[in-house]
Structure 1
Amino acid sequence: MIELLRVRDFAIVDRLDLELGPGFTVLTGETGAGKSILLQALGLLLGDRASRDWVRAGAPEARVEGAFVPPAPAAGAVAAVLEEAGIPWDPAEPLVVTRVVAADGRSRAHVNGALVPLHVLARVGTHLVEVSSQHQHQSLLREEEHLALLDAGLDAEGRRAFEGWQAAFAAWQEARAEVDRLERLDREGRDRAEFLRFQIGEIRAAGLEPGEDERLRAERDLLAHATKLREAYEAAEAELYTADTAALPRLGRAQRALEAATRWDPEAAAALDLVTEAMALVDEAAAAVRRRLGEVEADPARLEAVETRLEAIRRLERKHGAGVETILQKLERLEAELAEIENVEWGLERARTRLQEAEQGLAGAAGALRAARERAARGLERRVAEELAALAMGKARF
C-alpha cells in the first residue's frame, strides 16, 4: 500500500503531498489535469529511467518521495532484495523511497536514506506497486514472471515436485562445480604440486614442535639476562639464609627466645607457632632460590643457538603466518592439497560419476515438475476462461 506520495518541482507540479489511506482510492480529472504526471512520478520510485524534461522549469532538481507498506508476501521479497544490497529495513516500518532528478538529467535514488543503484530500486519496485496502465509494470507481460505465476497455482503434489527439483538442481550445481574444480586442478596440478612439495619440504626440514617458539623465547630471555638474574638470586639467598643478618637465622634466634618465654608465659606459645611457621616458609623460599640459582647459567653458545633457531622460525613465519601452531596447520593444509592433486584422476572419476547421477536425478525431478506445471497450466486456463466468460468474453481463448 502507498501511504504517501510527495512531489516537488516535477513537470508542471510545484508542490504536492498526496496521502492515501486503506481501501480503494480513485483519482479522477479531465485531460491535462495531471493524472499521468502522478504515474510518471510514481514510476521514478519504481525504477524508471529519469529525464531532465521532468524537472520543472527554473528548478534545480525534481524530487519524488513515497512511503510504502507492502503486504506480507511482498514485504518478504522486498526485505530479501534489500538484505542482498546491504540495506537494513524493519518490515514493521514504512519503506521510504526517494528519487531526485537534477536539471542535467542525472538522478539519485535512496531507500530508507541509503543510496541504491537503479537496478536495485527496480527490483524493489516490482514488489511495491502494480501499475496496470503502464506496460513496463505489468507482471503478465514480463516473461521472467510467468513461471512464478504458474508455480503459485501448483497443488500439494506439485509443490513437492518443485521442492524436489530445487534440491536436485542444487545437488547438480554442487556436483558440476566439483568436477570443474578438479578438472582445473588436473590442468594446473603439475606446477602447483612442485610448489607444494617445496613448501612442505621447507616446513618439514625445520622440524617444528608445537609450542617451540614460546619455549625458545622464554629460554632466550633467561639466557640473555643470566648474569643479572644470578646476582638477584644470590642477593636473595643471602638475605634469606647465608648472611649473618639473614631472615632464617634471625627467626631461629626469635624462636629460641620464645621457647624460653613459654616456661613462664603460656601466651607466648601463639607467637612461637607463628615464628615456627614463618621459618618453614622462609626455608622453603630459600630452597627455591638456591634451586633456581643452580639452574641459571650464562651460556653464550646456547644463547646463539636459540637466536639462530628463532630466526629460522621467523623466516617461516614471514611465508606461512605467525606462530609455530599456524605454520603446522598450514603444513596440514598443504599436504592435504598435494594429496588431492596426486589423486586427482581418481577424485575426478568419482566426481564425474556423482555429476552423472545428479544429472539423472535432475532430469527425473524436472520431468515431475513439468507434469505438475502442465496440470497447473490447465487449471489456470480453466479459471481464466471462467473469469472471461463472466465478463461476457466467452469466446476469448487463453
Structure 2
Amino acid sequence: MLLTPDQTMIRDAVRDFAQQELWPNAAQWDKAHTFPHEVHQGLAALGAYGICVPEDLGGAGLDYTTLAIVLEEIAAGDGGTSTAISVTNCPVNAILMRYGNDAQKKQWLTPLAQGQMLGAFCLTEPHVGSDASALRTTATRVSASQEGPTATKQGDEYVINGVKQFITSGKNGHVAIVIAVTDKGAGKKGMSAFIVPTSAPGYQVARLEDKLGQHSSDTAQINFDNCRIPAENLIGSEGEGYKIALSALEGGRIGIAAQSIGMARSAFQAALHYSKERVSFGTAIFNHQAVGFRLADCATQLEAARQLMYHAAALRDAGLPCLKEAAMAKLFASETAEQVCSVAIQTLGGYGVVSDFPVERIYRDVRVCQIYEGTSDVQKIIIQRALA
C-alpha cells in the first residue's frame, strides 16, 4: 500500500518524535518502571490520543490506517508507551464514538481525544481471559427510593463490585470502560458497559503486575468495592455490554499488529546496523550468508505483516467486515515479531542478551503481543470459523 502525502507527513512527524523522545529514554524507563507522563503530553499534542475521533469532538478526524501508521512509529520508539496509546484509541475511544450518547462524548471522549485523559478498558478478570462471557463483576442499579445500605439520595446510580485483571493504564488512566453483569440469568445478554472515572470511590488499584516487559506501561489488578457511578454512565442500554466489548476488538487487533511491527522493526534495524559493523573472519558478518539470509527473511516477513495490517485497516475504513483479516494481521504480525527479535538477539550474539543493547528489551516487550487482545490461539479460532 502506498501512503498518501498526508499519511507520509504524519508518519514522519510521529517518527521524529518517537526517535528523539522515546527511543533514547526507553531503556531507562524499562529499568525504573517509569510511566513517562511528559512524553505522553507530547504525543497528545501530536494528536496521537484521538486519531480516529472527529475533529468536532477534539480528535484528528483520521482513519484506522493512519492509526496503524502512528502506532507502528510509537512502538518503534517504545513498546509500553504504544500500548497505553493504543488502548485509549481503541477500544476506549472507539466504543464511546460508536455507542456513547452526545453528553458522554462531550464529557469523556473529547478530553480523551485531546490527551487530557488516558483511557483503560476493564474486561478481563482473574478467572476470565479469552472467554469474556464468563464475567463475575456485577453492576447493580440503586435509586433514592430504595432503603438500606445501598440506597442513595443523589439519584439513580450503579454499584459495581468485582475484580478486573491485567488492566493497561489501570493506575495511570483517568477513565475506564468497565464491562459488568447486570442480569446474572441472561448470559451474554446480561452484561452492560459503563464509564467509570478512576477517581470514583470504590475504584481500587489492588496491585501493579511485575511483568516481563513493557515496564513503561502500568498493568494493574483493579478491585471494585461498592464503586458508585451515576446511572447516566451506562453506555448504550443494559444488556449490550458483550456486544460493545467485542465491537472494538477488530480495531484493537489491528493496533496490536502495528505495535508488533514497530517493535520488531527497531530490533531488526539494530541487528542490521550491528551486522554491518561487526567484523568476523575478515569481513562484516552481514556478508556471511548465514547472517544475511536471516536478515533477508526478517525484512520480508515484516513487510508481509505490514501489508496484512494495512489490508485489515483499509477494510475497516471502508466499513467492510474485517474480523478474519484483523485476526490474521494480529496473528502473523505478533508471531513474526517474536521471530524477528529472536533473530536480532542471535545476530548480536552475547551482546544480544545484555541490557546495554536494546534487542533484549524489545524481545521482552513484544512477547505479550501474542496474548493481549486475544491470544494467537483465539485468532486461529476466529480464522477457522471464517473458513467454515
> Could you state the TM-score of these two structures normalised by the residue count of structure 2?
0.21
Richer in strand (by share): 2
More helix by share: 1
